[in-house]
Amino acid sequence: MAPAYPQLTTYLNEAGTDGYLINADGEDSNQYYLSGFRAMGNFVTLYVNGEVRLLVPDMAYARANTEGDGDSVRRFSEFDYGSKVLEHGPARAGPIVTTEFLAENDIDSVSVPASFPNGAADVLRAHGVNVVTDYDDTVGDIRALKTEVEIEHIRETQRANESAMAVAERMLERAAVESGVLHLDGEVLTSERVRRAIEVTLLEEGCALDECIVASGAEGATAHAVGTGPISAGDPVIVDIFPRNKESQYFGDVTRTFVKGEPDAKVREWYEVTREAYETALETIQPGVTGEAVNEAVCDVFEREGYPTLRTDEATEDGFTSATGHGVGLDVHEKPKLSWGGGELRPGHVVTVEPGLYEQGIGGVRLEDLVVVTETGYENLTDYSRELGVM
């Protein structure tokens, strides 16, 4: 049985709708959170009267019953889905079945997330259902506040993350420099090789990841470039890893910066200022402080030291070109944000703190930890040296 979500019930009362409806595939974290079920393909989750009621394709029915948290599970064939597909096509048949499912539950109006598919919303409206978009992502707000169990899951993923970071660091340590380029075990050491070692380590730890970042030199300054090719001595190497535990589905997130050989004075200075910004962020984090205020404090540090930020220039590609952090949980980017518009922090919020400095064509440095907001401040979920990794 699914737990009741008083905050969601309150939201529905305020919105004046009968239920909260999600129609998404098993990758949608809001749906997984409410349903406890990750199907292949689309299914429907309805929250009404404190209950979670599922409507799933027949292929997913057995799993929905055994794995899901739904208080009840219906399946498409109970609503004559097959003939609806033939008459209306597959894209309309699911939403038409949904309207009958809603009618059965005495639902005339629903709140839906902003991501709710427009094709389904149009069909529901054509069948007289009032569809109201929840632009505030209420389920996302609920998800952002982690239970002890969820924090433990995130901690476990972060442990795997630290093991992977150690593997990357050891590869850089063990590498020899030949003509300015790193070599390991007789071959050029590339971003791809380091990434592969990280991936294998995480797999052994029960984690999966689509990608991770091992970006050296100029690539370190390109937001989200994963990094390619040989790693050069003296270049800062940004290693940013954000895997998901395959069992718990919770993410971790960590970044460190390494340099093989002697970094430029500029890189050392970047790191020093970044470290100061990082410390400032942590000192600022506590319940009642807004995510925006944390980010402002970080911008203050960078700007005081003469670096551009997105506050001084929304389009800058040099300086502090990101926000301070974001929530992490079932999504690698979720609420709350340590950024402009970021709301009040509360105990149980899990956020990254990831200041950095970048210069296009040159490179960048970043330091990222994952912390949980506590009653009195924060607890760092990350246990890894925070020095610039010069070796």
Q: Which residues lie near a copy of itself (CB under 8 A)?
A: 27, 39-41, 58-60, 62-63, 66, 75, 77-78, 81-82, 85-86, 89-92, 112-122, 131, 133, 135-137, 196, 199-200, 203-204, 208, 210-211, 222-225, 246, 310, 314-315, 317, 321-322, 333, 340-341, 360
DSSP state of 115: T
Please tell me the distance from the alpha carbon of residue 301 to that of residue 281, in angstroms, as a whole number: 10
Please tell me the distance from the alpha carbon of residue 83 to that of residue 341, in angstroms, as a whole number: 48
Please tell me the distance from the alpha carbon of residue 34 to that of residue 44, in angstroms, as a whole number: 11
Q: Write down the least CB distance from residue 387 to a copy of itself, Å.
A: 27
| Spatial contact of 375 and 320, defined as CB atoms under 8 Å apart | no
Closer to a copy of itself at the Cβ: 84 or 260?
84
Residue in the structure block whose two tokens are 């984690």: 207
| Spatial contact of 153 and 248, defined as CB atoms under 8 Å apart | yes
Closer to a copy of itself at the Cβ: 137 or 279?
137
Neighbours of 52 (CB within 10 A): 25
Q: Write down the least CB distance from residue 388 to a copy of itself, Å.
A: 24
Q: Write down the least CB distance from residue 312 to a copy of itself, Å.
A: 12
Closer to a copy of itself at the Cβ: 74 or 153?
74
| Spatial contact of 355 and 377, defined as CB atoms under 8 Å apart | no
Closer to a copy of itself at the Cβ: 116 or 302?
116
Q: Write down the least CB distance from residue 263 to a copy of itself, Å.
A: 23
Q: Write down the least CB distance from residue 374 to a copy of itself, Å.
A: 26
Closer to a copy of itself at the Cβ: 203 or 390?
203
Amino acid, single-letter form, for residue 73: V
User: Which among 337, 343, 304 is positioned nearest to 322, based on CA atoms?
Assistant: 337
Closer to a copy of itself at the Cβ: 92 or 266?
92
From residue 382, alpha-carbon distances to 158, 254, 257, 368, 375 in Å are 7, 8, 15, 9, 19
Q: Write down the least CB distance from residue 255 to a copy of itself, Å.
A: 14
Closer to a copy of itself at the Cβ: 268 or 333?
333
Closer to a copy of itself at the Cβ: 118 or 376?
118
Q: Write down the least CB distance from residue 78 to a copy of itself, Å.
A: 8
Please tell me the distance from the alpha carbon of residue 316 to that of residue 89, in angstroms, as a whole number: 47
Closer to a copy of itself at the Cβ: 49 or 133?
133
Q: Write down the least CB distance from residue 224 to a copy of itself, Å.
A: 6
Residues 6+ apart with CB under 8 A from 308: 302, 316, 318, 319, 320
Closer to a copy of itself at the Cβ: 246 or 304?
246
Q: Write down the least CB distance from residue 177 to a copy of itself, Å.
A: 27
Q: Write down the least CB distance from residue 95 to a copy of itself, Å.
A: 9
**Could you write out the DSSP letters of every residue in 202-234?**
HHHTTEE-S--EEEEGGGGGSTT----SBPBTT
Residues 6+ apart with CB under 8 A from 291: 324, 325, 336, 337, 338, 339, 342, 343, 344, 345, 351
Tokens of 358: 């970048």
DSSP strand pairing (254-259 vs 236-241): antiparallel
